[in-house]
Amino acid sequence: MPAFAGQLVDIAGRRLTTAEFDLAGALQEVLRSVGLAIDDAGGSVTFAGADPIVKSPRARGG
């Protein structure tokens, strides 16, 4: 299994149970795994809102 795929499998096995998460740090790790960095895209990334950041057609919760 390629290293990146292995990382994804490992991360999927460690799902979070709280909203506290270093999204910028996680992005930096993913980018680093493919030889990139936030600085390569201008040095600034902004995240707005809370999970799920991407709109979903599925309702969350009960």
The pLDDT assigned to 24 comes to 85
How is residue 35 written in tokens? 């030889």
Q: What pLDDT shows up at residue 35?
A: 93
Q: What is the pTM of this model?
A: 0.49
Q: Tell me what the mean pLDDT of segment 6-27 comes to.
A: 78
Any idea of the CA torsion for 31, 4, 48, 54, to the nearest 10 degrees? 140
pLDDT tens-digit readout, 18-56: 667 788 888 899 999 999 998 987 888 888 766 655 555
- Residue 7 near residue 33, CB atoms below 8 Å: yes
